[in-house]
Homo-oligomer: A and B are copies of this chain.
Amino acid sequence: MTFQFEVLHQSTKSRARLGRITTAHGVIETPNFVAVGTHGTLKAVDNSLADDLGVQLMFCNTYHLLLQPGPDIVEQAGGLHSFIGRRGPIITDSGGFQVFSLAGGEVADELKSRRAKKGEGSVLKIDEEGVLFRSYRDGRKILLTPESSIDAQKAFGADIIVAFDELLPYQVDERALRSSLARTHRWEERSLSRHLKNPRGQALYAVLHGGVNEELRRESASFLTGLPFDGFAIGGSLGKDLSEMAGMLTQLLPQLPKEKPNHLLGIGDLPSLHRSIPLGIDTFDSSYPTRAARHGLLLTEQGPLKIDKKEHQASTIPICQECSCPTCLRFSRAYLHHLFKAKELIAYSLATLHNLYFMIAEMKRIRLAISDNRI
């Protein structure tokens, strides 16, 4: 089965739409949340359990997998699905975001208010060919180019792969943005060309850039939608807040071909989902639900619940009374509170299971609302 996308229903109330992506490893109903498993795991939940839970698409990071275990080992194991024991669809990114943010530092600092962790590597050279950086694992130099990124993603064998792009800080002048955009387009064209030599049934998504500059976003959409990509991811700077992002998406989404899926990169908090879906977004990825879980922040329809608060210490009810996740069906808030207090590892697994299940259920509710034209 090759990659296929169908729009099943267009809401009469907004640009929100129901769709279905079909891949060799199964179906992704859209709109949908994509769980992030950077190193080929959702950290505290094993991959076959995530499959059983209903995680329809898992996001793995090429940058991390390139450094460890490396494409050769994954390919030798029969590809990422076989290596990590996942039955369902996988998407990998190009490594571009991480090499510029983790290895570079300043972009991530600005975009995500975080600092590159000490020793996460360093960018040695950026030129037309690609990016030369030093591995934080073993100090070896690695040249990441559109071609080497696609080759790595071929070795991994994800169902959806992503073109290689350049990432700029939020605060740059228009000239720098324009020049970077032109390079990103050339890199994405090279990615496409490399991919088309050996498609292997994988779908290749372009990454739309242009920051919050309406004209540049339009140029990026115009250029990239003219090429035979299978889908369109929205990357680069998404604005300084939700409102700026919504403004950008409102302009940008109507410029994308309706018959192809789109993906919003690195966004997965509930307010952003609820704002972006009516604008026509199909998929999103974010490590928020799994990371929040490990900090004891449990998602509920009444907002996140901090399980280590004293008010939960004797509570015999589950996180959510109406939830059917493996955690809520078996364990009380009091036990989870106790496990978090005692810093027991299973706490992180049980919390992650709940948050993943919550996101899956939330996306079902959203899809139902779209089919009823309530969104």
Interface residues of A (CB under 8 A from B): 39-46, 48, 64, 68-69, 72-73, 76-78, 83-85, 294, 313-314, 316, 330-332, 334-335, 337-339, 341-342, 344-346, 348-350
Contact = CB atoms under 8 A, between A and B. Distances in A.
20 contacts: A39-B338, A40-B335, A41-B339, A42-B346, A43-B345, A44-B349, A69-B314, A69-B334, A73-B338, A76-B314, A76-B316, A77-B316, A77-B332, A77-B334, A83-B334, A84-B335, A294-B345, A345-B345, A345-B349, A349-B349
Given A83-B332, A332-B83, A39 B344 contact: yes
B348 A345 contact: yes
Contacts of A64: 342
Contact of A43 (B40, B346, B350): B346
Contacts of A41: 339, 342, 344, 346
Contacts of A349: 44, 46, 345-346, 349
A331 B348 CA distance: 21
A338 B37 CA distance: 13
Contacts of A84: 335
A84 to B, nearest CB: 6
A42 B346 CA distance: 8
Nearest to A69: B338
B73 A342 contact: no
Given A39-B338, A83-B334, 18 more contacts: A39-B342, A41-B344, A41-B346, A43-B345, A44-B345, A44-B349, A68-B338, A68-B341, A68-B342, A69-B334, A72-B314, A73-B334, A77-B332, A78-B316, A83-B338, A294-B345, A345-B345, A345-B349
A73 B314 CA distance: 6
A335 B40 CA distance: 9
B316 A44 contact: no
Tell which of A68, A331, A335, A341 has the most Cβ of chain B within 10 Å. A335
Contacts of A40: 335, 338
A313 B85 CA distance: 16
A330 B83 contact: no
A349 B316 CA distance: 26
Given A316-B77, A335-B77, A335-B83, A330 B48 contact: yes
A358 B73 CA distance: 27
Contacts of A348: 345
Top 6 A-B pairs, shortest CB-CB distance: A44-B345, A39-B342, A69-B338, A85-B330, A41-B344, A41-B346
Contacts of A350: 46
Q: Which of A294, A314, A345 has the most C-beta atoms of chain B within 10 angstroms of its own C-beta?
A: A345
Contacts of A43: 344-346
A316 B83 CA distance: 8
B346 A45 contact: yes
Contact of A85 (B77, B335, B341, B344): B335
A353 to B, nearest CB: 9
A346 B64 CA distance: 17
